[in-house]
Each structure stands twice: as structure tokens, then as C-alpha cells.
């Protein structure tokens, strides 16, 4: 391929980040450009159209569909209360009367003379969008939302569950190779973003929920733990809508994998600070990775947000993480990038690189596709 | 397609074609040389639909740039493709393209009766190359508010509404239109335009449907796709889908307006183009064909049996993004039965999840390759099961039954996929096309599809079928010539008797007469798999004698005489019976699999008990 690159996950002490805070439908923006906002502050709100209910009035009144409009007591656009009569008919000189009552409070959406069907709509559902991160409103898109800019630390995870939340960073373990188990979690962790080491156990997740922990960040998780925690298997990696009471961000992958040293140390240095985290993951076109953002008040990243778009290339000296067996999860530095294709044990002919492992200095030859650049 | 391109095939000597996939844009150069159209070179570059580029044409230009370098010719002038050709060295006579970038074409279909018009609508959408997100029907068991909520939640690119035969009752289909109207559906891409809705139902209801949906959506009315109960008329709806795909969906994707200006023929959705070339070949060669494309996220299956074309897409069966779902749907034991060693379930599950979250990684160890190929067999098997369920005769038809029919209980619900009639099985997609040994591709195809009788096997080496499919719209001759000569890699032929006999008994005797008149005889015992040399371009005259009660094509116990064609793998005599008995709990399973993979020379000498699989 003429233009190839190996994108990695960002773990950076200070970056300028911009977050789009956009409404699902047009509405009202309640902050202005230049406002300093807090993560929990509402920046825009709107109303989603309410749910629709259908009633076959022709059947209920035993009349023909084209007679329905004349039997309606309320017309399209008019509001109705639950159990209010919306249509009635009388037969045999008014001796037998039939009524149709509204099953909901809302309004009449439409009346069809072809099908005899009446559609009713529930009241609108209010929707609010918060700022998600502490920062500055740098752009207002009228009726749509805002862009909030913040300067701080960013840790991208590889996989997560649960949506946006925020809390104060707290370490639950001392070392990146320690498991995060239930015993490490106490009632004092309520409202916190808890950092574990190599594996978050099933019991730890349950305990986190019962103690009111907002978020958990760990190196690895067993597939079986996710299944147990969610109650179902994740088939396709599109997450973020789970509502389990805690957001989980996994930094390395599935299984017991120590959190990368740099990530662990960075999180350690942010203890006591407020972090915004999101477990939403989408591994398809339009990749979304889970993240931990720790805004640093008073700091400013050089180069602004444009400098944050990274698409680095592999070169001798590049720090990489091995992302497939053998040596899965280990870190190393690129030594050589031989140009010719090489034959693997699986007999596949691929482009390879030689990497020197950080831990023991061993040299290994691996497919280039099986490493990712550790960006900083 | 409904738009007639202004192309004179006799003037075309040089063709550039691209396929803009979700991750890679592939360009090929086809030229007329010494009286025949051949593939000259191929280039590729990452697709640039998404940020930071947000312009599909950048990836197209990069891919063509690679073609320029490899061919030593010039096709670009600044940011434009030079068409028509200016000289032998500058430009191409025709530029065509397909696209599946940005998630392809995502549709919701609706019909009155689930197994009749809704099913026909689904076939029309699938045939046009769409992913069907949901099929709504008046009798699908959901209440109207549930259907409304579903439409609002899905945000498709397009909706196809059908229902009723021409002149029939209008009530139900108008009710469906009212439900769609109440949902006030919004398109997936862009918020400034109305959602395209195609009405292809009862012509008598067209006015009412227009009244209901005309203001709220961008409604197009076309011919009924089921004008009478006994006949489907999917062509006009498919054409309309292609037109709207171009005008609305593609036009919203970044850079596509520019790309649409460049092409000599409208851009087609990638799977629609693949279906096109498969139909063209089946028709020209009078073959029953199955084609499969197994990608990272989805698996497409195409079939032509007796000139009836079907396509299905299994949106969540694939080898990277969707690999976890393959495990979820098939279950660990079904995957493990194909792995020639034992491994613990926890390790397997974690390693597959790790592939899902880092989809671009490749198997490094032999064991990892074996696990991926085991998963591929299950993904293909499941996708094919779904295809067979969709590829059925028209339902709801009153048939005259003869006395002989009363003994035949298949009915219209039975699939029209007939493995004994199948002539050609074509595989494509990374796991098949890039398998380190072609023998592995042959084995995956045989194990997953279980062909019966005599079947030729092939793989599309560099996934050129999309480009050839769109080219077939204007230049079928060039498309089929390149398809036969450069696109397909012939693996060989599989002979597999249907039926079973007692273990150790002969299930098939094959007498082969090779070129020069030399005859050889092979007895295949039940449970055996045998690979015989038969090279590409070679053929043998075969007399195939199945065991009593077993069938190789002409009925149980009947001898078949046929010409068998070779390929890069050879001639596979599969005596494992149909279906293959492979119990995951059988202690002899590992030994069985090793015997089969050994017979097919699928892997280098396998190690005993591996420790790491990734």
C-alpha cells in the first residue's frame, strides 16, 4: 500500500481536546461562546417528539373508514387527556352510542379516512446535553449545540462499556500488574473514577456498582466477566448505551494484561483531580474509542486541537505495544523495518518488523499489523 | 440500471475501475491487448471518507496513482482522471466505480404480509446491494407503536414500501404508509434532506400513499414488485434503489459529488455489482453458481439457481469487527470442532475478543491461523444457512398438485439452493483469498458449504468482482473475459457423494482417464478425504460410481460420467458423506481433523499442544 500507517491509542499528559456537544434534534443552546462550563452543566436542550399510539377507530365504532373523520370529537393537532372521548357514534336514532377514549395524554396526530386509523402522540420528551468536560465554549452552532475545548490529559482505552460520566480519580491498586478485585473497593469510593491494574474481576464490578463508583479504568477484563456483568454476550463491538451504573474503560484488552506503565503513571499523577470518562466504543468505520479526560486548569497544550490529530508512521525507535500473541500486551521499541515480505510460522507472507522488548531486551520479529504505536 | 450510459463498447480499449471499500480503495486497470481484455495492474490506498480527509476522491486518486506507477502510464492530471484517452500513454477510455464506504446502503423494507410482499421487498433491497436493517409487515407481531419506535430508532438511508397485488385491497398498505409517516423518519447521513422512500406496491393505493407520505418524505413511486401473487417484478424497485442511492445517499457522503462527475456509468453499491457479475457469468455459461464474500464485518452470499438470483447479507458475521458474533452465534463447541488441537474456552474467548477490538491484526502462529480458519468455516456456514432460508420459491401461491407431488413435501417454503445442482462455488474475502495455502481455502469452502456431487471451486484472488460487476453494465464482454482469465483462481473440483454408508465401506469409486488414455481407479472409504493431482488447465474423464443409496448427481446408486477440471489445489474426493459427522465431544475428533487436513495438505506439520493462540 502506498500510504500506510499504524494508528495507536493516545496516552498523553497534555492535549487540546474539542468535544462536540450536539442535540439529536434542533433545539436551544443555553450557553454562549467564551463561557467557561463545568462537565455537569447543561449546554443545550430540546424536545424529542413523543411516542405514537394508533387506534383503529373504524373498527372500534363499527363504521366505515371514510366515516371516521365525521365521528371525531377532536381533530388533528388538538390535545387530549387520557380517557377523554375522542370519537363517538350513535346508531338506531341515537339509542346505541359508542365512544372511543384516548389511551394517552397527548395530541391527535392524524385521522385516516382510508384505514380508519387515528394516530395519537404523547407529549414531547425533554432532552438535555451537558458539557461532559470542564472547559471553554469555543463555538456555538445555533439551535444545534456547542463545541467545548479543554486542555488536559487524555487516555484512550481499547474497549469500554457504559456512557459518559465524571468523578475524581482514585487509585485502587499500587502497581499496574495488580488485579482490581472486590476487596480493593470501599464505600469511600462513591462517586469516584477508580483505577485498577491488570484485570478487573466480576466481583469488583458488582462491588463498584453497589458502592456507587462512577467509573472503573483497568488494563484488562475477561470476556466472561463482561457476559456475567451485562447478562449477555457482546457480539459486535458497539457499546456505550449500557446502563449498569458504572462506566468501564479497558486500556489494553481482554484477559489479565498489566496496564501500560505510562498509562498507569499518568493516572497516578492525576489522583484527586476530576476526570470525564466515556466507555462508548465503536470498532467499525468511524472508530470511537473509550476515553479518560482529565482537564488541567490553567494549562494549555501547544499547537491547539489541530496538533492533536496524529497519524504517525513506524520508524526505528518508535515505542510500540504488541497487540497479538505471542508476546501480547508487551511493550518494545522498533529496531528494524525490513522491506521484503517475510514468512511467518503460519506461512503467511507479510511485512514484518523487529522489536526489542522493554522488559528483557529480547529481539522478536513480528508482523507490522500486530503492533500499535504508543502515541503521546 | 435505469440510467443508460452513453458508452460504445467497441471504442473501449483502456478501463480504470475502482471499488471504494470501508477501509481500502482498490483500483484496477484493464486493457485490450492482442484482441483480449486483461487485467494489467492493480493499486490500492486507504479509503478517505472519514476524518481527517473527508473526501473519497483522495483515496481514489491515491489508488490510481499506484496504478500509474505500476503501469508506467499517466491517468491523472492534477486532481482529475483523464477520460477519454488522449494517447496510448495518457488517460483511460472509461472510468467506473463501486462503493461500500460509510457502511454501504442501509435500508428498512415494509410489506403487508411478512412471508409475501415483505419478503419480496427484502429480496429486492438485498439484490440491489443493501443491508436490510429490518423488514416490517402488518403481521410481524409488533404493535404499530413498536414499529414506529423501531423506524425512528434505525435511521436508514432509504425505505422500500410494498404491499398488495395490483388492483387489490388498499387498506393494509396505506396503514403501513401511515405508520412510516407517523415515525417521521430521518436519514442516517445529513439532516438537511428528506428521507427517500420508494413505493412499489399495489398501484391502486399509489395516490393514497402519496397523500400520506409525499409531504413528509422524498417519495418515489415505481412498479409493484409483486403485481400478481405468482410473480415477482423486482427490477424496477432495484433500479430505483440504485438511482436514489446515487442521488441521495452517495451525494451526502464526503467527496461523492465529485466522484459521480468522474464516472462513465453510475456508481453502484459494491454488493450490487458483485451480484451483477455473478448473474452475468451464470447466464453466459449456463451454470448454477454460489459466490460468497466474507469480509471483516459482513458476509455476502450470492446464488443463481435456474436463472433465479438471490443475494443475502449477514450483517454481523465477519472475520474481524464481527468475529465475536460468529462465536456467539455458532457457539464455542461448533468452532472448536474444526480446530485440530484442544484449547481452553476462556483463552479462546479472550483471544477472539482481542481480534475484535484490534481487527487489523493477523495470525502469527500456525495455531492462531487454524483457529481463525475454524471461525471462518462457522461464519460461512451460518451465512449460508441464512441465505438458504431467504432463497425460497414465492410463497402464498396456489399450486396445482399432481399425484407425484403428494409424495414430495418440499412445498414453496423449501430453499431453491440445490447443492447437487451447484456447478461452481466462488469464495472471496481476506480469509479465503489470502489463506497462506490455497488448499486451506478449498477446505474451508468444502467444510462450510458441503457441496454435493461434482462442484468446481474457485477464489477471487484480489476481489475484483465489484469492479467487473459495474463494468458488466456497459461492457459485458470485457467484464466476463477478465473474470474468467484474471479474476478467478481455479482451485479444482470437489466430488462428494450425498448419503452415508457403514464405516470402512467404500462410498465412491472413481475411474479417471487422464490425457493420453491412462486410466486409474480410486476407492474412497466412508470418512476419507483424498486429494489427487489435477493441475490448472488439465482435465480428466471420470466415471464416478457411488455406493448403493448414495448420490453423485444422477440419483442414488447411479454412475456419473463427467469431465473434471483441475486447479491449483487439484481433485478432491470427499467421502465424508453429507452432512459430515463431526461431534465436538468425540474423543477421536482431533485425530479425524488432522487426518483430513493432512490428506488435503492444508497445513505444515502441526505441533502437538500449543500454548498461545492469538
Residue-level pLDDT at A285:
59
Question: Which strand ranges, in their side-by-side order, compose the sheet holding B196-199?
Answer: B130-137, B105-111, B158-161, B196-199, B218-221
Look up the CATH number of domain B104-261: 3.40.50.280
For residue B514, what is the DSSP state? -
Query: Greatest CA span in chain B, whole angstroms?
Result: 75
Q: Which of B105, B103, B160, B157 is nearest to B137 (CA)?
A: B160
| Number of A–B residue contacts, CB under 8 Å | 182
Phi-psi region of B472 (alpha: psi -120 to 50; beta: other; left: phi over 0): alpha
Cell digits for B476?
459485458
Q: How far apart are CA B44 and CA B534, in angstroms?
A: 34
Residue-level pLDDT at B334:
93
Q: How far apart are CA B251 and CA B258, in angstroms?
A: 9
Q: How far apart are CA A180 and CA A201, in angstroms?
A: 6
In this prediction, residue A3 has a pLDDT band, given cuts at 50, 70 and 90, of: very low
Is residue B305 within 8 A of residue B417, CB to CB? The reply is yes
Is residue A204 within 8 A of residue A216, CB to CB? The reply is yes
- Asked if A235's CB is within 8 angstroms of B350's CB, the reply is no
Q: Which of B411, B410, B417 is nearest to B391 (CA)?
A: B417
| ipTM confidence | 0.83
Q: What are the residues whose beta carbons fall under 8 Å from the beta carbon of B501, sequence distance 6 or more?
A: B507, B526, B547, B549, B550, B577
Chain B CA closest to residue A351? B362
Q: What are the extents of the domains in chain B?
A: 9-101, 104-261, 289-392+417-599
CA A249 to chain centre: 10
Per residue in A190-227, pLDDT (tens digit) is: 999 999 999 999 999 999 999 999 999 999 999 999 99
Cell digits for A190?
462513591
Would you call the peptide bond into B437 cis, given omega within 30 degrees of 0 as the criterion? no
Residues of B in contact with A372 (CB under 8 A): 358
Helix (H, G, I), strand (E, B), or coil: what is residue B513?
Answer: strand
Cell 510500540 appears where?
A320
Question: Which strand ranges, in their side-by-side order, compose the sheet holding B424-428?
Answer: B308-314, B299-305, B289-294, B424-428, B453-460, B488-496, B570-574, B529-532
Residue-level pLDDT at B3:
45
Q: What are the residues whose beta carbons fall under 8 Å from the beta carbon of A118, sequence distance 6 or more?
A: A54, A55, A56, A57, A68, A72, A86, A87, A100, A108, A110, A111, A112
Residues of A in contact with B65 (CB under 8 A): 2
Residues of A in contact with B180 (CB under 8 A): none
Cell digits for B253?
457522503
Would you call the peptide bond into B269 cis, given omega within 30 degrees of 0 as the criterion? no
DSSP H or E stretch at residue A98: strand A96-101
Chain A CA closest to residue B607? A345
Residues of A in contact with B614 (CB under 8 A): 324-326, 328
Which is it for strands B560-565 and B519-525: parallel, antiparallel or unpaired? unpaired
Residue-level pLDDT at B235:
86
Q: How far apart are CA B245 and CA B251, in angstroms?
A: 8
For the purposes of burial, counting CB atoms within 10 Å of the CB of B588, is it exposed (0-12), middle (13-18) or buried (19 or more)? exposed
Per residue in B195-209, pLDDT (tens digit) is: 999 999 999 999 999
- Asked if A345's CB is within 8 angstroms of B366's CB, the reply is yes
**A22 lies in a domain?**
no
Residues of B in contact with A202 (CB under 8 A): none
**A133 lies in a domain?**
no
The whole-angstrom distance between A348's CA and the closest CA on chain B is: 5
Residue-level pLDDT at B322:
85
DSSP H or E stretch at residue B356: helix B345-357
Q: State the angle between helix axes of B206-213 and B171-183 in degrees (0 to 180), rounded to the nearest 10.
A: 10
Q: How far apart are CA B565 and CA B515, in angstroms?
A: 12
Q: Are residues A90 and A166 in the same domain?
A: no
Q: Which of A216, A39, A52, A44 is nearest to A121 (CA)?
A: A52
- Asked if A350's CB is within 8 angstroms of B362's CB, the reply is yes
Q: How far apart are CA B445 and CA B429, in angstroms?
A: 12
**A314 lies in a domain?**
no
Q: How far apart are CA B53 and CA B58, in angstroms?
A: 8
Cα A342 to Cα A93, A182, A332, A358: the distances in Å are 93, 46, 20, 24
Q: Suggest the residue from B358, B441, B606 to mutate for an interface test with chain A (most A CBs closer than 10 A).
A: B358
Residues of A in contact with B182 (CB under 8 A): 52, 54, 109-110, 119, 121
Q: Which CATH superfamily is domain B9-101 in?
A: ATPase, nucleotide binding domain (3.30.420.40)
User: Which is more confident, A28 or B295?
Assistant: A28
Q: What is the mean pLDDT of residues A238-257?
A: 91
Residues of A in contact with B208 (CB under 8 A): 114
- Asked if B178's CB is within 8 angstroms of A115's CB, the reply is yes
Residue-level pLDDT at B118:
94
Q: Which of B387, B356, B353, B351 is nearest to B371 (CA)?
A: B351
Q: Are residues A332 and A244 in the same domain?
A: no
Angle, vertex CA A22, rays to CA A16 and CA A24, nearest 5: 155
Q: Which of A115, A159, A311 sits opposite B175 (nearest CB)?
A: A115
Q: Are residues A269 and A162 in the same domain?
A: yes
Residue-level pLDDT at B405:
44
Q: Are residues A169 and A282 in the same domain?
A: yes
Q: What are the residues whose beta carbons fall under 8 Å from the beta carbon of B240, sequence distance 6 or more?
A: B2, B198, B200, B220, B222
CA quadruple A357, A362, A367, A373: dihedral, nearest 10:
10
Q: How far apart are CA A196 and CA A259, in angstroms?
A: 8
Q: What's the total number of domains in chain A?
A: 3
Residues of A in contact with B297 (CB under 8 A): 236, 284
- Asked if B604's CB is within 8 angstroms of A223's CB, the reply is no
Cα B455 to Cα B301, B357, B496, B542, B565: the distances in Å are 17, 37, 8, 13, 10
Would you call the peptide bond into A35 cis, given omega within 30 degrees of 0 as the criterion? no
When computed from its CA atoms, the radius of gyration of chain B, rounded to whole angstroms, is 25
Give me the helices (H) in chain A, please: 57-61, 68-71, 202-211, 223-230, 261-268
Q: Suggest the residue from B331, B364, B374, B432 to mutate for an interface test with chain A (most A CBs closer than 10 A).
A: B364
Cell 462550563 appears where?
A37
Would you call the peptide bond into B443 cis, given omega within 30 degrees of 0 as the criterion? no
Q: Are residues A114 and A164 in the same domain?
A: no
Q: Which of B145, B316, B350 sits opposite A54 (nearest CB)?
A: B145
Q: Are residues A162 and A232 in the same domain?
A: yes
**A18 lies in a domain?**
no
Q: Are residues A216 and A331 in the same domain?
A: no
**A271 lies in a domain?**
yes
State the number of CA atoms in the 13 A half-sphere of A295 facing the CB: 22
Q: What is the mean pLDDT of residues A25-48?
A: 93
Q: Which of A166, A156, A101, A164 is nearest to A134 (CA)?
A: A166
Q: Where in the sequence is the domain holding A109, given as residue range(s)?
A: 52-121
Q: How far apart are CA A352 and CA A336, in angstroms?
A: 9
Q: Which of B530, B491, B483 is nearest to B507 (CA)?
A: B530
- Kindly tell me if the per-residue pLDDT of A252 is higher than 70: yes
Angle, vertex CA A117, rays to CA A114 and CA A119, nearest 5: 130
Residue-level pLDDT at B152:
80
Backbone angles phi, psi at A170, to 5 degrees: -145, 135
- Kindly tell me if the per-residue pLDDT of A2 is higher than 60: no
Q: Are residues A102 and A186 in the same domain?
A: no
**A346 lies in a domain?**
yes
The residue ranges of chain B whose pLDDT is under 50 are 1-4, 399-411, 607-614
The residue length of chain B stands at 614
Helix (H, G, I), strand (E, B), or coil: what is residue B456?
Answer: strand
Mean per-residue pLDDT of chain A: 89
Q: Which of B105, B166, B163 is nearest to B136 (CA)?
A: B163
Q: Are residues A182 and A244 in the same domain?
A: yes
Amino acid at each position: 500500500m502506498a500510504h500506510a500507517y499504524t494508528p495507536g491509542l493516545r496516552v498523553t499528559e497534555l492535549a487540546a481536546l474539542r468535544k462536540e456537544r450536539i442535540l439529536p434534534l434542533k433545539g436551544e443552546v443555553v450557553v454562549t461562546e467564551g463561557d467557561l462550563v463545568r462537565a455537569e452543566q447543561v449546554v443545550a436542550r430540546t424536545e424529542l417528539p413523543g411516542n405514537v399510539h394508533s387506534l383503529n377507530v373504524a373498527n372500534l365504532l363499527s363504521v366505515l373508514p371514510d366515516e371516521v373523520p365525521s365521528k371525531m370529537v377532536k381533530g388533528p393537532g388538538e390535545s387530549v387527556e387520557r380517557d377523554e372521548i375522542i370519537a363517538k357514534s350513535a346508531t338506531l336514532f341515537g339509542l346505541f352510542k359508542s365512544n372511543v377514549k384516548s389511551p394517552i395524554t397527548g395530541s391527535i396526530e392524524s385521522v385516516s379516512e382510508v384505514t380508519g386509523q387515528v394516530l395519537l402522540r404523547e407529549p414531547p420528551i425533554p432532552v438535555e446535553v451537558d458539557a461532559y468536560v470542564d472547559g471553554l465554549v469555543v463555538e456555538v452552532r445555533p439551535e444545534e449545540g456547542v463545541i467545548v475545548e479543554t486542555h488536559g490529559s487524555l487516555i484512550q482505552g481499547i474497549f469500554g462499556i457504559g456512557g459518559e460520566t465524571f468523578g475524581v480519580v482514585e487509585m485502587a491498586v499500587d502497581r499496574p500488574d495488580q488485579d482490581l478485585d472486590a476487596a480493593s473497593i470501599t464505600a469511600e469510593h462513591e462517586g469516584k473514577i477508580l483505577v485498577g491494574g491488570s484485570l478487573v474481576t466480576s466481583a469488583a464490578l458488582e462491588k463498584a456498582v453497589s458502592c456507587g463508583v462512577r467509573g472503573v479504568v483497568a488494563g484488562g477484563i475477561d470476556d466472561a466477566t463482561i457476559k456475567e456483568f451485562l447478562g449477555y454476550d457482546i457480539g459486535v463491538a458497539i457499546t456505550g448505551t449500557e446502563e449498569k451504573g458504572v462506566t468501564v474503560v479497558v486500556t489494553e484488552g481482554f484477559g489479565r494484561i498489566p496496564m501500560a506503565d505510562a498509562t498507569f503513571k499518568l493516572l497516578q499523577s492525576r489522583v484527586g483531580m476530576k476526570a470525564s470518562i466515556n466507555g462508548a466504543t465503536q470498532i467499525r468505520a468511524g472508530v470511537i474509542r473509550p476515553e479518560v479526560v482529565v482537564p488541567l486548569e490553567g494549562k494549555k497544550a501547544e499547537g491547539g486541537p489541530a496538533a492533536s490529530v496524529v497519524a504517525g508512521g513506524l520508524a526505528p525507535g518508535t515505542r510500540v505495544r504488541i497487540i497479538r500473541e505471542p508476546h501480547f500486551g508487551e511493550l518494545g521499541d522498533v529496531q528494524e523495518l525490513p522491506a521484503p515480505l517475510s514468512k511467518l510460522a503460519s506461512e503467511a507472507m507479510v511485512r514484518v518488523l523487529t522489536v526489542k522488548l522493554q522488559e528483557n531486551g529480547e529481539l522478536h520479529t513480528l508482523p507490522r499489523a500486530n503492533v500499535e504505536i504508543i502515541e503521546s | 440500471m435505469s440510467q443508460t450510459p452513453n458508452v460504445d463498447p467497441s471504442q473501449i480499449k483502456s478501463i480504470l475501475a475502482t471499488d471504494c471499500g470501508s477501509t481500502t480503495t482498490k483500483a484496477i486497470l484493464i486493457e485490450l491487448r492482442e484482441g483480449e481484455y486483461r487485467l494489467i495492474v492493480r493499486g490500492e490506498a486507504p479509503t478517505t471518507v472519514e476524518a481527517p480527509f473527508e473526501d473519497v476522491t483522495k483515496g481514489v486518486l491515491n489508488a490510481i496513482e499506484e496504478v500509474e506507477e505500476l503501469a508506467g502510464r499517466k491517468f491523472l492530471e492534477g486532481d482529475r482522471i483523464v477520460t477519454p484517452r488522449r494517447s496510448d500513454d495518457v488517460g483511460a477510455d472509461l472510468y467506473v466505480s463501486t462503493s461500500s464506504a460509510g457502511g454501504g446502503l442501509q435500508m428498512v423494507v415494509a410489506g403487508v404480509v411478512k412471508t409475501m410482499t415483505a419478503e419480496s421487498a427484502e429480496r429486492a433491497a438485498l439484490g440491489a446491494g443493501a443491508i436490510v436493517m429490518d423488514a416490517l409487515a402488518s403481521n410481524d407481531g409488533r404493535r404499530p407503536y413498536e414499529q414506529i419506535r423501531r423506524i425512528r430508532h434505525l435511521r436508514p438511508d432509504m425505505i422500500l414500501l410494498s404491499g398488495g397485488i395490483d388492483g387489490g385491497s388498499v387498506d393494509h398498505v396505506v396503514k403501513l404508509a401511515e405508520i412510516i409517516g407517523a415515525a417521521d423518519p430521518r436519514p442516517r447521513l445529513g439532516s438537511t434532506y428528506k428521507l427517500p422512500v420508494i413505493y412499489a406496491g399495489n398501484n391502486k393505493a399509489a395516490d393514497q400513499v402519496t397523500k400520506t407520505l409525499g409531504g413528509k418524505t422524498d417519495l418515489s413511486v415505481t412498479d409493484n414488485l409483486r403485481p400478481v401473487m405468482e410473480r415477482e417484478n423486482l427490477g424496477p424497485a432495484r433500479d430505483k434503489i440504485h438511482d436514489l442511492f446515487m442521488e441521495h445517499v452517495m451525494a451526502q457522503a464526503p467527496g461523492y459529488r465529485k466522484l459521480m462527475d468522474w464516472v462513465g456509468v453510475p456508481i453502484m453499491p459494491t454488493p450490487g455489482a458483485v451480484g451483477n457479475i455473478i448473474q452475468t457469468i451464470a447466464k453466459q455459461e449456463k451454470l448454477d453458481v454460489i459466490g460468497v464474500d466474507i469480509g471483516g464485518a459482513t458476509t455476502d452470499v450470492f446464488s443463481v439457481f435456474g436463472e433465479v438470483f438471490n443475494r443475502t447479507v449477514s450483517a454481523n458475521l465477519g472475520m474481524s469487527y464481527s468475529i465475536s458474533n460468529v462465536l456467539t452465534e455458532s457457539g464455542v463447541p461448533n468452532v472448536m470442532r474444526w480446530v485440530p488441537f484442544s484449547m481452553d474456552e476462556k483463552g479462546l474467548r479472550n483471544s477472539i475478543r482481542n481480534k475484535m477490538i484490534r481487527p487489523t491484526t493477523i495470525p502469527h502462529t500456525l495455531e492462531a491461523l487454524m483457529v481463525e480458519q475454524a471461525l471462518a468455516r462457522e461464519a460461512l456456514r451460518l451465512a449460508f444457512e441464512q441465505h438458504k432460508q431467504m432463497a425460497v420459491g414465492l410463497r402464498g401461491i396456489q399450486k396445482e398438485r399432481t399425484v407425484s407431488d403428494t409424495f414430495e413435501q418440499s412445498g414453496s417454503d423449501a430453499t431453491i439452493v440445490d447443492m447437487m445442482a451447484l456447478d461452481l462455488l466462488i469464495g472471496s474475502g481476506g480469509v479465503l483469498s489470502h489463506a497462506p495455502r490455497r488448499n486451506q481455502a478449498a477446505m474451508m469452502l468444502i467444510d462450510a458449504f458441503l457441496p454435493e456431487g461434482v462442484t468446481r471451486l474457485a477464489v477471487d484472488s484480489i476481489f475484483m468482482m465489484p469492479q467487473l460487476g459495474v463494468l458488466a453494465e456497459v461492457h459485458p464482454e470485457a467484464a466476463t473475459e477478465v473474470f474468467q482469465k484474471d479474476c478467478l483462481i481455479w482451485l479444482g473440483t470437489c466430488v462428494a457423494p450425498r448419503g452415508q454408508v457403514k464405516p470402512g465401506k467404500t462410498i465412491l469409486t472413481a475411474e479417471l482417464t487422464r490425457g493420453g488414455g491412462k486410466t486409474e481407479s480410486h476407492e474412497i472409504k466412508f470418512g476419507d478425504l483424498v486429494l489427487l493431482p489435477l493441475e490448472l488447465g488439465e482435465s480428466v474423464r471420470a466415471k464416478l460410481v457411488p455406493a448403493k443409496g448414495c448420490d453423485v448427481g444422477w440419483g442414488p446408486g447411479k454412475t456419473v460420467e463427467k469431465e473434471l477440471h483441475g486447479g491449483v489445489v487439484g481433485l478432491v474426493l470427499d467421502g465424508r458423506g453429507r452432512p459430515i459427522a463431526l461431534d465436538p465431544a468425540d474423543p477421536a475428533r482431533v485425530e479425524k481433523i488432522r487426518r483430513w487436513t493432512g490428506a488435503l495438505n492444508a497445513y505444515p506439520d502441526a505441533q502437538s499442544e500449543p500454548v498461545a493462540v492469538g
